[in-house]
Amino acid sequence: MEKRLARFEEKLAQSEVDAVLVTGQNNIYYLTGFWGTEATVFISGGRRLFLTDARYTLIAKKTVEGFDIIETRSALTEIAKIIADDGLTKIGFDAQVTFGFYQGLKTGFASFELQPLTDFIEELRLIKDASEIATIRRACHISDQAFLDVLDFIKPGQTSELEVTNFLDYRMRQLGASGASFEFIVASGYRSSMPHGVASEKIIQTGETLTLDFGCYYKHYVSDMTRTIHIGHVTDQEREIYQIVLKSNQELIDQARAGVTYKAFDQIARAVIDQAGYGEHFTHGIGHGIGLDIHEIPYFGKSEDKLAAGMVVTDEPGIYLEGKYGVRIEDDLLITEEGCEVLTKAPKELIVL
Ligand SMILES: [Mn+2]
């Protein structure tokens, strides 16, 4: 934690603000190890303040190190009082706050200049340290096992998409997860052609494709993976589409490494689908970062920014034939200097249940 704070303070020293007010739950967890819905962190060159209300004081005193811990129900007023004589002028704050909070901030910090910051702490979170990687690895391992188990649970003609969702959720909790990292996509048959078709009461039938996009929280970090399977039998076209998506996913695994630009990362996978003639049916981005958030930077596309060792990103190409079916395969990759490590290890060969 002290290492993260040192990086934070180094960044603060180089920034245009004198102090940063941190309010996002994940950002506070990242910097302090505290997990709770009510906390405010304030860091300037000379101060580290952690403010929370009476419900959380005890836990904060046990978990938060290197901060002055202050119990209050009006954090902003309290901070303004404490820093009144510090000579600070420009205070940065997380741009992702509610309008109501911002209004309170303007009143409480009336004598300071306020500067919204985008991705200030998220940029520090880009590169995962060893403990974060170990935690994400465990989250992926739980999802891998749940995928193997759900294959036995699905009974064509009987099991609904919703039942599959609930099974995955419960099974991952049994395996140590604290919950679902997002609303799962369980989409069978024609519904699988909707990239984000959340589970419905539809019964999974023989002859359909079934897309499962799911993940869990393990110690606040997420996993995010997708597998597409076939029920009963598979047509030649379904087999062809599956192989193209798999090849795209694998090509990116083969080429991803530190130094590859975000633009190239997207292009490597997209080129495979383009060359096969299905480019217009790959309608979304290739992936995103994961960590404390299910979607976090980096996002890919046109940027010349480069991948770096320690980033954890998804590789999720797909082909969607409207009204018919779709295929998506998604892995979580740990970027290294030499290449990448695939953290999600559930089988990807074509499965016909
Ligand atoms: Mn994803």
For residue 17, the CA-to-ligand 1 centroid distance in Å is 34
Query: What pLDDT is stored for residue 304 in this prediction?
Result: 96
The per-residue pLDDT for range 277-300, each reduced to its tens digit, is 999 999 999 999 999 999 999 999
Neighbours of ion ligand 1 (CB under 5 A): 224, 314
For residue 262, the CA-to-ligand 1 centroid distance in Å is 16
For residue 93, the CA-to-ligand 1 centroid distance in Å is 28
The whole-number average pLDDT for the span 219-227 is 98
Res. 96: pLDDT tops 90: no
For residue 330, the CA-to-ligand 1 centroid distance in Å is 7
Res. 301: pLDDT tops 90: no
pTM of the model: 0.95
What would be the CATH architecture of the domain defined by 2-125?
3-Layer(aba) Sandwich (3.40)
The per-residue pLDDT for range 170-187, each reduced to its tens digit, is 999 999 999 999 999 999
Query: What pLDDT is stored for residue 85 in this prediction?
Result: 92
What's the order of all strands across the beta sheet hosting 40-44?
A: 68-71, 48-52, 40-44, 19-22, 90-94, 113-117
Q: Where are the domains of the chain?
A: 2-125, 130-342
Res. 303: pLDDT tops 90: yes
For residue 248, the CA-to-ligand 1 centroid distance in Å is 15
Res. 58: pLDDT tops 90: yes
Least confident range from 58-67, 136-145, 191-200, 310-319: namely 191-200
Query: Nearest 5°: phi and psi at 52?
Result: -150, 175
The per-residue pLDDT for range 117-132, each reduced to its tens digit, is 999 999 999 999 999 9
For residue 45, the CA-to-ligand 1 centroid distance in Å is 37
For residue 142, the CA-to-ligand 1 centroid distance in Å is 16
The per-residue pLDDT for range 317-352, each reduced to its tens digit, is 999 999 899 999 999 999 999 999 999 999 999 999
Distance of CA 52 to the CA centre of its chain: 26
Higher pLDDT, 1 or 263: 263
Reported as a pLDDT band with limits 50, 70 and 90, residue 106 is very high
Res. 196: pLDDT tops 90: no
Res. 140: pLDDT tops 90: yes
For residue 120, the CA-to-ligand 1 centroid distance in Å is 23
For residue 316, the CA-to-ligand 1 centroid distance in Å is 7
For residue 226, the CA-to-ligand 1 centroid distance in Å is 8
Q: Which residues contact 230 (CB under 8 A, 6 or more apart)?
A: 208, 209, 210, 238, 242, 350, 351, 352, 353
Please name the fold of domain 130-342. Answer: Creatine Amidinohydrolase (3.90.230)
Write the DSSP assignment of 191-220 as a string of letters: GGGSTT-B--SPBP-TT-EEEEEE-EEETT
For residue 215, the CA-to-ligand 1 centroid distance in Å is 9
For residue 165, the CA-to-ligand 1 centroid distance in Å is 16
